Amino acid sequence: AQSVTQLDSQVPVFEEAPVELRCNYSSSVSVYLFWYVQYPNQGLQLLLKYLSGSTLVKGINGFEAEFNKSQTSFHLRKPSVHISDTAEYFCAVSDRNFGNEKLTFGTGTRLTIIP
């Protein structure tokens, strides 16, 4: 079984300040890792994903995340946030095994940008 923990339910950040959204996971098997963003009344949009290779992954809208296997973490970062980054952010994992591709999500972090 897999689980994802997002410790921060809400994160307020001033505009143009840096931000880090934390994600830790547990799994008995190797996993793929994802960050999705959800704007109000919209579906989920993929920000970035880690499948293999370099542990630093760059995504859309200036976001990046670093996979740390020893700490089982996949924290999301952005050096300078904008008002438009206000949204809910979800970390997710999926099993690497073929045929078992369902995503297990964390409870989400609401990012609020303060002008």
Partner 1 sequence: GAGVSQSPRYKVAKRGQDVALRCDPISGHVSLFWYQQALGQGPEFLTYFQNEAQLDKSGLPSDRFFAERPEGSVSTLKIQRTQQEDSAVYLCASSGLQETQYFGPGTRLLVL
Taking the complex as a whole, the smallest distance from the CB of residue 105 to partner 1 amounts, in Å, to 3
Q: By C-beta, is 6 or 65 nearer to partner 1?
A: 6
Specify burial of residue 64 (Cβ count, 10 A radius: 0-12, 13-18, 19+). Answer: middle
CA dist 55 and 40 (Å) reads 30
The radius of gyration computed from the CA coordinates of the chain, to the nearest angstrom, equals 14
Task: Determine if 4 is a binding residue for partner 1 (CB under 8 A).
Answer: yes
Task: Determine if 11 is a binding residue for partner 1 (CB under 8 A).
Answer: no
Residues that bind partner 1 (CB under 8 A): 4, 6, 36, 41-46, 49, 90, 92, 98-108
